[in-house]
Amino acid sequence: MSTTTTTTESVPPPSLEVRVKPPSLPSSFSPPVAVTVHVSVHNNANTPVTLLNWGSPLDPQAKVLGVFEIRDADSGESVPLDTISFRRMLPPPREDFVEIPAGGAVAAEATLPLVPLAEGHRYTIQAKGWWQAIWKKALEDVPGEDLEKMTGGQRGEFESQVVLIEVNEG
C-alpha cells in the first residue's frame, strides 16, 4: 500500500526578484542609528504569484527577523543587528498572503533599529532569506486548504542585489 503526501517543492520560481534601494541616512547622527530600507519584490512572470510574507522582505517584522544583512564594505565583517525569533500560529491569517500580479511588484519599507554605523565608513546591505510558500497563481485561485497547510506551492531562498551605503563624516 502506498500513500501520497503533498509537499512543497524547495525551488523558488525564478521569476521573483528582490530589489533593495540604497537607504538614506540622516545628515548627522550618533551611532547607533535607525536605517530605513526600501525593498520590492518583482514578479517577472506572465502569471500572478501568491506568497506567504513570513520571513520575507514583505513581512511587517522583517526589520528584526534577520532578513537584512549589513557588512563593512572594506573588511566584509558583518555589522551586528538586533534580531528576534518567534513562532507563529498556524494556519497563517489571510492577510499574510501577498499576491503579486504578472509583471508587477510589491514594495515595503523596514526600519532597522539601532544599527552601529560609523561615520566615514562604507557598508553594504542585502536582503537574504527563505520563501516559506509560493504559488504560481492568483490568491483567489490557491485552494484554501493549500493556504492553511502551506502545501502545493514552492519554497526556496531569495537574495537581493548588494547595495552600497556610504556614511559621510558630519
Classify residue 7: in a domain, yes or no: no
Residue 7 has a pLDDT of 42
Residue 13 has a pLDDT of 62
Classify residue 3: in a domain, yes or no: no
Dihedral of alpha carbons 138, 140, 146, 150, sign: positive
Classify residue 1: in a domain, yes or no: no
> At 124, which helix (H) or strand (E)?
strand 122-135
Q: In whole numbers, what is the pLDDT of the chain averaged over residues? A: 89
Classify residue 54: in a domain, yes or no: yes
Closest CA to 148 of 98, 87, 90, 89: 90
The domain tally of the chain equals: 1
Q: Which residues pair with 58 in a beta bridge?
A: none
Residue 61 has a pLDDT of 95
Reported as a single tens digit per residue, the pLDDT across 145-158 is 999 999 999 999 99
Q: Which band of pLDDT confidence, cut at 50, 70 and 90, is reported for residue 3?
A: very low
Reported as a single tens digit per residue, the pLDDT across 58-107 is 999 999 999 999 999 999 999 999 888 888 888 999 999 999 999 999 99
The mean pLDDT value for 42-58 works out to 96
CATH code (residue 91): 2.60.40.2970
Residue 142 has a pLDDT of 97
Residue 14 has a pLDDT of 65
Determine the structural domain holding residue 30 and report its residue range: 16-166
Classify residue 8: in a domain, yes or no: no
